[in-house]
Amino acid sequence: MTVGVGCERAGGGPVRAGRGELLLRRVLAGSGAPAAERLAAGAPDEGDSAGPLRHAVRLPAREERTAAWPDWVPPRVRAAWEREGVHAPWSHQAEAAELAWSAQDVVVATGTASGKSMAYQLPVLARFDRDPRATALYLSPTKALAADQLRALEALDLPDVRPAPFDGDTPTDARDWARRHGRWVFSNPDMLHRALLPRHGQWATFLRRLQFVVVDECHTYRGVFGSHVALLLRRLLRVCARYGSRPTLVLASATVAEPAAFARRLTGRDVAAVTEDGSPAAGRTIALWEPPLLPELTGENGAPVRRPAGTEAARMLADLVLEGARTLAFVRSRRAADGGPPGAQRLLADVDPALAERVAAYRGGYLPEERRALEAGLVGGALLGVATTNALELGVDIAGLDAVVVAGFPGTRASFWQQSGRAGRARDEALVVLVARDDPMDTYLVHHPDALLGAPVEGCVLDPANPYVLGPQLVCAAAELPLREDDVDEVFGGAAAAAVLDELVDDGVLRRRPTGWYWPSTRERPAGSVDIRGSGLGQVAVVEAATGRMLGTVDGASAPATVHSGAVYLHRGETYVVEQLDLEAGVAAVTTGDPGFRTDARSTADVEVARVLAQRDQGRVRVSYGDVTVTSRVVEYLRRAPDGTVLATVPLDLPEQVLRTRGVWYDLDEEALVAAGITPARIPGALHAAEHAAIGLLPLFAICDRWDVGGMSTALHPQTGRPTVFVHDGHPGGAGFAERGHAVLDRWLAATRAAIVDCTCRTGCPSCVQSPKCGNGNAPLDKAGAVRVLDMVLEALAGAGPDTCGGARTQGRAAG
Ligand SMILES: [Zn+2]
Ligand SMILES: [Zn+2]
């Protein structure tokens, strides 16, 4: 355990005990950890790994940096903010607004609560003031966020802005009003795709006058969804150009790696990035916490189990409430949110029943009034503790709490900072605790504070050249306006789009005429059947057999593994059993009821290399990236008792699934592996363990979740002729994850190695090499062998050329 000051803010003098550290002592004392007294005594304690506290880093408060109002901001716009108590913009707000005003596309990528809205509100409102006909379009990934932004704009109470919502909930007459009279329309990509662009003729006046397009929370546009949105924005800009407008783009993003490059990929235009955050930040102590292994329990294949992050968080919540600290605990699943506070409530009831009533649960699906009441209770102090799922994350106005407990890394640094940003006030230091779940990514982060606190390494990836996304998007575009040669070259990416168009013409979907590509039907609109949020493999509806009520949908790609006949399926905290899966019809029929066991699907998979796009050959190790074909089949499932015991194995007869996608892979010389101490019998387990951990760590570099990628390892691959490990995208055509993995391979595998070594288990557990989605039941796995495999690959990469990142590799090795 180490206690220090944030690395990039070094030189801040001795650590003073602020409120955050006092709260941390309380949490430590409650854990019964041996390190508690030593921290209390203020002694930094290097190398003690007995307690659950891995690192505690104190981030001092950051002073605000303001700028003068730009001289083009009209007095009444300025006065509106002054009424709200804002007397000068922060430096990043002014910088981004200035760029947007000069018609330079801009992305502002700064922290939570840094007032990114003002960066686009200033230029839009100033333009509205000068040009009474100008219009603007705001796009956000969720309806809730758009509604919050619309409310904030209305609060400025400026005349002639005429903001109007245009989303799935907007009634018909209000939609008509938005179209005819709205100057600032608040919408989302789904509505742009399905409603606005297909009927652009009705929006001609609005589009002709369109001066700004705001793309909020743009880091959420990643993977397949991001690839769709990238092409959707190109569709919008092309239609605008036809009406004679060229709106300036203003994007707002969480802090991610290379925001300008990402924004360029998303929009197809050159976008300037503003990343220097001028907003003030409260001082905080960030504690990284790894729950202990529980020797009395075992998991799959006898693996040790850690105390669950949710249990640990409930205990912390109770301790902090006892201390009078207003605390928000974030847990990852809805079930955990339902279970979190009762845990804390029980603990509190033993000490002070009055306090137990000041703890509550919050989850999505609440009515807006319920949600607001809960938030008001927490901000006002009537409530001291709230446990919540990630539902509270976007667009909710809670700040200034004393402590935030994050149970399980929320998947991205951006989300983590968003959640931790709820804690801290100007003069009062706050505590933020990240409690690791049993997952290799969490293990890595609590052992490597720089990965959270240093410069961002996670990037947003998407691939607007994916033919599986280009195909339906080009059809939609052609139905909006016939596609001309220069559209294909200048807007939709050239050769890749031309190849897709040729196929669409061959298939009779589009018609080729001398003037371009045409959608033949004037009545039907293709957008309705193009799902921009799906994987491209369709959806399976989960339907209650008795009533026909639809409970939800499952992605077609994962349906055979999650809703096969006989599967136990959890949905919103309820347990169902799947009676029948009809893949043709896209329906899984379920009945309510908990059979007292859970199910685990087993599958087989083959990966075939279709085309190598890049390769580095170091002899003993060869690294490749390219097109792969993944053929998989779910073959059976296990019924497991709650303690994990296998009750039965049931065979399944499901069709093969074929996925053409992108992959990154390495193959190794078998003799070299044996020389490194991995006997042939150990090779399968060593490769398999290295594959699992690498999949678990990819989200550190490319924002994704583990369902976006898959993997396969084999001791002898027929094409490479050697032991081989594949990691591949989970979507047809790929979505950029394997590509990013290939680009940062050395850093990615160094982090993978570090996560395995950091885990104190002996032979492998869910915190390092076991995977919750393994089709092989997490066997065989060889933890020590995986480290040797990764050493061999890292050594080869280090010798591969000057682009290898020595620093990151050294960091990974030092951890061993
Ligand atoms: Zn482990
Ligand atoms: Zn596996």
- SS3 labels along 96-157: HHHHHHCCCCEEEECCCCCCHHHHHHHHHHHHHHHCCCCEEEEECCCHHHHHHHHHHHHHCC
Q: What is the mean pLDDT of residues 640-664?
A: 90
- d(Cα 39, Cα 37) in Å, to the nearest integer? 5
Task: Please report which ligand is nearest the Cα atom of 689.
Answer: 2
Q: What is the mean pLDDT of residues 319-329?
A: 92
Q: What's the pLDDT at 390?
A: 65
3-state secondary structure of 50: coil
CA of 556 relative to ligand 2 center, distance in Å: 21
Q: Which residues surround ligand 1, an ion (CB under 5 A)?
A: 759, 761, 765, 767-768
Q: What's the pLDDT at 731?
A: 86
Q: Which tens digits make up the pLDDT trace of 581-624?
A: 998 888 999 999 889 898 989 999 999 999 999 999 998 999 99
Q: State yes or no: cis peptide before 165, omega within 30 of 0.
A: no
- How many CB atoms are located within 10 Å of the residue 609 CB? 18
Task: Please report which ligand is nearest the Cα atom of 290.
Answer: 1
Q: What's the pLDDT at 806?
A: 33
CA of 786 relative to ligand 2 center, distance in Å: 13
3-state secondary structure of 667: strand
CA of 748 relative to ligand 2 center, distance in Å: 19
CA of 783 relative to ligand 1 center, distance in Å: 8
Q: What's the pLDDT at 393?
A: 55
Q: What is the mean pLDDT of residues 489-497?
A: 93
CA of 586 relative to ligand 2 center, distance in Å: 27
Of 13-22, 393-402, 570-579, 688-697, the range with the lowest mean pLDDT is: 13-22
CA of 447 relative to ligand 1 center, distance in Å: 13
CA of 690 relative to ligand 2 center, distance in Å: 10
Q: What is the mean pLDDT of residues 114-140?
A: 96
C-alpha gyration radius of the chain: 27
Position 343 pLDDT exceeds 80: no
Position 35 pLDDT exceeds 90: no
Strand ranges for 669-729 from DSSP E: 709-714, 724-729
Task: Please report which ligand is nearest the Cα atom of 725.
Answer: 2
Query: Is the distance from CB of 120 to CB of 127 less than 8 angstroms?
Result: no
CA of 364 relative to ligand 2 center, distance in Å: 33
Q: What's the pLDDT at 50?
A: 57
Position 247 pLDDT exceeds 70: yes
CA of 768 relative to ligand 2 center, distance in Å: 13
Q: What's the pLDDT at 457?
A: 80
For the chain, give the percent of residues with pLDDT over 90: 60
Nearest to residue 68, comparing CAs of 85, 96, 90?
90
DSSP for 234-289 reads: HHHHHHHHHHT--PEEEEEE-S-SSHHHHHHHHHSS--EEE----S-B--EEEEEE
Task: Please report which ligand is nearest the Cα atom of 687.
Answer: 2
pTM, two decimal places:
0.83
Q: What's the pLDDT at 112?
A: 77
Q: What's the pLDDT at 679?
A: 96
Query: Is the distance from CB of 479 to CB of 512 less than 8 angstroms?
Result: no
More confident residue, 756 or 547: 756
Task: Please report which ligand is nearest the Cα atom of 777.
Answer: 2
Q: Which segment, 53-57, 135-139, 250-254, 339-343, is predicted with the most confidence on average?
A: 135-139
Q: What's the pLDDT at 36?
A: 47
Nearest to residue 385, comparing CAs of 416, 410, 354, 361?
361
CA of 653 relative to ligand 2 center, distance in Å: 21
Q: What's the pLDDT at 414?
A: 81
Q: Which tens digits make up the pLDDT trace of 766-809?
A: 999 999 888 888 999 999 999 999 999 999 999 865 433 333 33
Which of the four pLDDT bands, split at 50, 70 and 90, describes residue 8? very low
Position 121 pLDDT exceeds 60: yes
Which of the four pLDDT bands, split at 50, 70 and 90, describes residue 812? very low
Sign of the alpha-carbon dihedral angle for 92, 94, 95, 99: positive
Q: What's the pLDDT at 392?
A: 60
Q: Which tens digits make up the pLDDT trace of 724-746?
A: 999 999 888 988 899 999 999 99
Q: What's the pLDDT at 418?
A: 83
CA of 32 relative to ligand 1 center, distance in Å: 23
CA of 794 relative to ligand 1 center, distance in Å: 21
For the chain, give the percent of residues with pLDDT over 70: 89
Task: Please report which ligand is nearest the Cα atom of 778.
Answer: 2
More confident residue, 378 or 659: 659
Nearest to residue 767, comparing CAs of 753, 780, 755, 775?
755
Bridge partners (DSSP) of residue 663 are 626, 728
Task: Please report which ligand is nearest the Cα atom of 692.
Answer: 2
Q: What is the mean pLDDT of residues 429-458?
A: 91
Position 368 pLDDT exceeds 80: no
- d(Cα 742, Cα 505) in Å, to the nearest integer? 34
CA of 343 relative to ligand 1 center, distance in Å: 27
3-state secondary structure of 197: coil
CA of 633 relative to ligand 2 center, distance in Å: 14
Nearest to residue 211, comparing CAs of 326, 280, 129?
129
CA of 189 relative to ligand 1 center, distance in Å: 41
Task: Please report which ligand is nearest the Cα atom of 690.
Answer: 2
